[in-house]
Structure 1
Amino acid sequence: MNTITLPPFYYRDNFQQLLDRAGLLPAELQTERERQLTSMALLLSPQALALLVRLLTRKGNLFRSERLAWAELPDLIEPVAELVSAGWVRVITARAELNDLVGVDEWLALYNRDELLQAWGDQLVGITGVSRSKLKSWRREQLDEICKQALTAGQLQRCDLQTALWWQLVSDCSQWLETLLLLYFGNLQQSLTEFVLRDLGLARYEDLPLDASLCPFHSRTQLDAHRALFHLSPDDDWLKAADADALQLRWNALQDIRERVVDDEWLQRRWMRMVTRLARQAERLALPELALDWYQSCECHPARERRIRLLAIRDPWQALAECRAAWFNSYSEDEWQFLQGFVPRLGKQLGKLDRQRLQTSGVIDWYQAAALPAEQFLNLPTDWKQRWPRVEQAVLDLLAEQGRPGIYVENALIVSVFGLLYWPLLFAAVEGAFFHPFQYRPDDLYEPDFLTRRQLWLQEIEADLDSGVWIDRVQQRAIDKMGIQNPFVYWEFVAAGLEQGWFETVLKRIPLEHWRAMFEFIWQDPKAHRSGLPDLLILEPDGGYQLLEVKGPGDQLQANQKSWLAWFASQNIPAAVLYARPEPV
């Protein structure tokens, strides 16, 4: 395998693309100060711009000069002088000045553990009463906290840590960089790393139909709302530690930007997902009234599910009414799966309260249980765990001995064929779909009007299905697009099928009407229906096939698997659950 070497100033060239995009977009999307910084950056010499990017992409905005060195920038004197002259960087030499400008946390982070112990080891031993070896084993957070307390008390002096010069970026650089990233990517999950992964060949993207002036934002208000939501998004660690006061403060902050997301459906959904997570933590803290109130403001999954579960405790009849509303207008496949299992349990609960009311016409007769999947059983040898690494492989080998060879396909086969077939539609030049070259899917893939906006491409693919040329299209596309990111295609699986020769066999073995039915089900909820598919495809001796979901000892069907199996049953697609159990002793 050939090693790809990036050019010395790859990071500067990549950053230049952010600057170029910002220059093409409406001026009002940047503040006056951001426009000024963008213009200033474009005027920098190549060396100075390279140094600026190096500093921008490091943590914080304070740096120790002696710890900064890059092979492609052997002499930093002139680039630094240019950045200072242009107002990007301040050089700090006096320790008193540093004390006034920089907080203790930011300053301590510039030094490693060994440097702290070398300068203050003896003092810290005296202050804490523990040995040097013990201090070395402390977590960095613990060591920093002791140092901060001692500095505040005057027991340690900053001047004991020698540094020639400090460089400090202007304070608003970080927000400016965020704005550039938002204008380019439309989010803050992606960064300049995307360019590197592409250039190294670790990630390949479709050649997208991009207009250089495309941007997902239409106003500065919209952009700032995206930024605010990103910074307010609670991570798992924060949620686990959050108490009622912390949740209320975060809720208040989200309320402050609620009006700004009214006209942006994407922002509304993100806002509701964040509130739903806050409400879930309120549940864990035994604050059901607060959780119910917050869930009430969210029209998304799992907000309504959680609301129904809480109502089932305090007002089960209201919970049933919510279930009925959800049944006829479900938010998602996940919610539908929840209703399938929850409504019967709620019915039993209500039957104990008032059976006559429950049996009144229309109260619960709208509910219909999903079709039960067909079942098969297979005995495993008692030593099967020693002979096979997985139960699915054991089943494949045992069925092959019966003249029923098969392939392990799980989620890879059907969704990969789907992704290859609908490739032109997925990457069609539709307004609002693509904004930058690192998108592996259209921005509106999960919107309800996704197919409606692509009827021309859909009609062409339907014609291919009708004429029978779709199989050739899928195979050729698998060769032409190999390795290019697609939200549905499992390239390892497809490559193995092409190499081993069974990919075409499978495409032809499954009847077209079955393929159509499976594609239809994926389109019903492209996000949820990418998983839950059967493990094995068995090639029957009579030229047919069967899909098998294998369940070993102690394993049970998951909700998404039940959903697919119910769909297969409704479409007369041969699928079953195979329960593999050890032979009775």
Structure 2
Amino acid sequence: MASRHPSAPPQALAPGTADLENPLYYLENMETLVGWVRDHHADLLTAAERDRLAGFFALSQPARALLTRLVMRTGEHFRADRLNYPELGVAEAVALAELIDGDWLDPAPTLELDQLFRLYTLPELRPVFADDLADLGQPRSLAKARMRELLQAHYPEPRTVTDWLGPAAAPVVRINQMALFDRVRLMFFGNLRQSWSDFVLVELGHQRYETVPFTPDARAFARREEVDHYLVMHQCRQWLDEGVPAAEVWPEVPAPVANPWLTSRRDRLLLELGRQAEREGERELALQALAASGHREARLKRLRLLERLQRFEQAWDLACRWQMTPLSDAEIQGLGRILKRLARRLDRPSPLPDVRSRPEAWTLELPRPGHGSVELAVAQHLGQDQSPVYYVENTLINGLFGLLCWSTIFAPLPGAFFHPFHTGPADLTRDDFLARRRDAFDRCFGHLADGSYRQRMRDTFARKQGLANPFVIWPVLTEALLDLALDSIPAADLRLLFERLLLNIREHRSGWPDLIQFLPEDDRDSAGRRYRMIEVKGPGDRLQDHQRRWLAFFEARGIPASVCYVRWQSQDAPS
């Protein structure tokens, strides 16, 4: 890989995928990442930050590679004598000197006692603190963790390595620009949950990605203040994870902003704050945080907490209002249980009937297979030339949805895509995923109504073959399976299934029956169906809650589905 000439002006890097055969592939990916942010988010960076990123590309290749390695590692402090990257092509000391000269690294940072103990070994530390341990009446053979604990109160102030260990100690360097690199990482990924290695150390070329137009209007962050807003929320979440009391974090939570993507992040933060407040016995604070959160999980938690506080009338009023809004099956189930308990407490009839489904079930006795799963054994037993059986589980209906709604799934809405390497929209499982695309999904479903969906889905199958899509598993969704599905499953059934999937994608993408059997043309029923779905349960296996909810939905809508319980013939054979 050729080094960029320092005097060359910055150029927009065309998104590419590095070859893992190149020992500096991680640098190629880092350059793509930094270049993407520089080119698409320049207005969200200060002039000093833009100059810094330009300076990154002006570094020599070995210096860029070493800086990338350090940024990817945990923490900001590193021992210079422990750096070993032969792929740099020069001695690590040479690249270090360039980074220090360019103010990328601090060659003499101060270290807290904890940092010192993380960087140096016990044999290196014992001679330095031997006198202190003796003064404390402790043996010099003390374990490292115990030594650090005893010395903590005696050394509250940070010091340089030389001050700690003397001039002969191995030097330590500190990255000076981690705040900028974290800001760049946030603007590229759209979160700080993902690490540099999620991109830099991945062979991106093993997947092909849909091309999504990236315009200023499609960005999640419209102003620098919104990036700052996210960083404050991230700090609040870190404090919660570190055990800082919820009452101390609560005043630091930023106020709402008119940015739906940031609002969803704030809703999640408030949900976590409410959970922690309740664990800490701060129930009033928990109620306040859960009431301020728009996260769907916050509603049930708030109702349960009101129950525990015996505020039954307030819980009843909230639950009755909530049941009038669109709910997923899991929410209906949870709300129904709460309303049933509250109705008993308040001597009122429950507004939600207790409907228990009883899916069609049958038992199949088969010889135990020498290999393969129980699902494949049932598929092989039931399958015939005129009525083939496919093992599809969570792939077929999801895949059909992905083909029909491809353009809507990949619509360039704000906060949906941050870079060219997304397998799907970042807001896919967010509560407002459907609401932000309602009109577009209605247009997709219009193709089901006018019959054009078959050709649309076949065209998409041909044009998008192999491109990553969160709903389409290409090795499973073959052309033969697609044709059988489109000829056998009526458009009305597809719409029902797709609409339920969209109610809660996180929950409803799974739980589909294992098998689908396509029936001969003369077996088509009055609704045009010639298929049946089969959930397979081997010996000792039981239906999961999300599977029961799908089966209840099928039963209520007249969609043919059943449960096949398998027994192995050997289990009943006489001994």
| TM-score, scaled relative to structure 1 | 0.76
Shift of 1:554: 5.9
| Alpha-carbon spacing, 1:424–1:294, altered in 2? closer, same or farther (3 Å) | closer
Distance of 2:140 and 2:483 partners within structure 1: 70
Match of 2:403 among 408, 420, 425: 420
Alignment of 1:371-520 (within 5 A): 372-378=357-363, 380=365, 391-393=374-376, 395-396=378-379, 399=382, 406-429=389-412, 433-445=416-428, 446=430, 447=432, 448-452=434-438, 454=440, 458=444, 461-462=447-448, 465-466=451-452, 468-470=454-456, 472-473=458-459, 475-477=461-463, 480-482=464-466, 484-494=467-477, 497=478, 501-520=480-499
2:286 aligned partner: 291
- Equivalent positions of 1:82-481 (< 5 A) are 82-92=98-108, 101-112=110-121, 143-147=144-148, 149=150, 159=165, 163-170=169-176, 173-196=177-200, 199=203, 201-211=205-215, 215-233=219-237, 242=243, 246-254=245-253, 257=254, 259=255, 261-285=256-280, 287-313=282-308, 314-330=310-326, 332-347=328-343, 349-350=344-345, 354=347, 358-359=348-349, 364=350, 366-370=351-355, 372-378=357-363, 380=365, 391-393=374-376, 395-396=378-379, 399=382, 406-429=389-412, 433-445=416-428, 446=430, 447=432, 448-452=434-438, 454=440, 458=444, 461-462=447-448, 465-466=451-452, 468-470=454-456, 472-473=458-459, 475-477=461-463, 480-481=464-465
User: Which sections of structure 2, spanning at least 5 residues, go unmatched?
Assistant: 1-17, 156-162, 525-529
Task: Identify the range of structure 1 (182-191 vs 210-219) with the bigger mean alpha-carbon deviation.
Answer: 210-219
Q: Residues of 1 paired with 2:41 and 2:212: CA distance?
A: 22
Counterpart position of 1:139: none
Percent identical among aligned pairs is 31
SS where residue 436 of structure 2 aligns?
A: coil
Q: How big is each residue's C-alpha offset from its partner over 1:299-350, in whole Å with a ceiling of 9 and x where there is no partner?
A: 3221111222233341334333222111111465532232244434443x24
Equivalent residue number for residue 531 of structure 1: 510
Of 555, 560, 565 in structure 1, the residue corresponding to residue 551 of structure 2 is 565
Amino acid at match of 2:546: N
State whether residues 405 and 441 of structure 2, in contact with CA within 8 Å, keep that contact through their aligned partners in structure 1. Answer: no
Q: Which residue identity lines up with residue 357 of structure 2 in the other structure?
A: L
* Alignment check: 8 A CA contact 1:538 1:546 kept: yes
Q: 1:60 aligns with which of 75, 79, 89?
A: 75
* 1:275–1:298 contact (8 Å) kept in structure 2: yes
Q: What SS does the corresponding residue of 1:523 show, helix, strand or coil?
A: helix
State the shift of 1:535 in Å.
2.1
More helix, by proportion: 1
Could you report, residue by residue, the CA deviation over 1:119-140 in whole angstroms, capped at 9, with x for unpaired residues? Answer: 9999999986698xxx8xxxxx
Between the aligned partners of 2:482 and 2:41, the Cα distance in structure 1 is 49
Cα separation, partners in 2 of 1:233 and 1:203, compared to 1, 3 Å = farther
Say if 1:65 and 1:164, in contact at 8 Å, map to a contact too: yes
Query: Could you tell me which amino acid in structure 2 is paired with residue 143 of structure 1?
Result: K
Task: Sort the Cα spacing of 1:399 and 1:119 in 2 relative to 1 into closer, same or farther, 3 A.
Answer: farther
Q: 1:60 to 1:193 in 2, by over 3 A?
A: closer
> Retained in 1: the 8 A contact 2:261–2:415?
no
- Residue 415 of structure 1, CA deviation: 0.6
> Residues of 2 paired with 1:335 and 1:491: CA distance?
32
Q: Aligned letter for 2:473?
A: Y
Q: Is the 8 A contact 2:554 2:561 kept in 1?
A: yes
Q: How many residues align?
A: 534
Q: CA deviation at 1:504?
A: 3.4
Q: Shift of the alpha carbon at 1:149?
A: 3.2
> Normalising by structure 2, what TM-score?
0.78
Question: 1:234 and 1:281 mapped to 2: Cα distance?
Answer: 13
When structure 1 is superposed on structure 2, of 175-184 and 433-442 the one drifting more is: 433-442
Secondary structure, aligned partner of 2:173: strand
Q: In the superposition, relative to structure 1, how do residues 332 and 223 fare at CA in structure 2: closer, same or farther (>3 Å)?
A: farther
Contact 1:333/1:528 (8 A) holds in 2: no
Residue 19 and residue 408 in structure 1: after superposition, are their counterparts in 2 closer, same or farther (change >3 A)? Answer: closer
Farther-moved stretch of structure 1 (56-65 vs 23-32) = 23-32
Asked if structure 1 preserves the Cα contact closer than 8 Å seen for 2:65 and 2:88, the reply is: no
Q: Separation in 2 of the partners of 1:57 and 1:578?
A: 50
Pairing partner for 1:546 from 532, 535, 547 = 532
* Paired residues of 2:306 and 2:314 also in contact (CA < 8 A): yes
Contact 2:404 2:453 (8 Å CA) reproduced: no
Give how far 1:222 is off.
0.9
Q: Deviations over 1:201-248 (max 9, x none)?
A: 34442233234896421222210111122232259xx66x84xx7222
Change (3 A) 1:508 1:161: farther
**How far does the alpha carbon of each residue in 1:478-522 deviate from its partner, in whole angstroms, 9 at most, with x for none?**
xx532x33221234433xx56xx5453344332333223222322
> Aligned in 2, Cα 1:28/1:428: closer, same or farther, shift over 3 Å?
closer
CA separation in 2, counterparts of 1:282 and 1:89?
40
Alpha-carbon distance between aligned partners in 1 of 2:232 and 2:501, rounded to the nearest angstrom: 34
Aligned with 2:321: secondary structure? helix
SS in 2 for 1:576: strand
Distance 2:152 2:557 in 1: 73
Residues 400, 457 of structure 2: 8 Å contact kept: no
Comparing 336-345 with 434-443, which one deviates more in the overlay?
A: 336-345
Amino acid at match of 2:465: K
What residue in structure 1 maps to residue 52 of structure 2? 37
CA contact 2:445–2:495 (8 Å) conserved in 1: no
Q: CA RMSD in A?
A: 4.2
Deviation of 1:390 after TM superposition, in Å, equals 5.3
Correspondence for 1:138: none
DSSP-derived class of the 2:22 partner: coil
Instruction: Give matches, 1:72-91, under 5 Å.
Output: 72-91=88-107
Cα 1:451–1:28 change in 2 (3 A) is closer
The residue matched to 1:451 in structure 2 has which SS? helix
Mean CA deviation greater in 113-122 or 206-215: 113-122
Distance in 1, matches of 2:371 and 2:92, equals 60
What secondary structure does 1:11 align onto?
A: helix
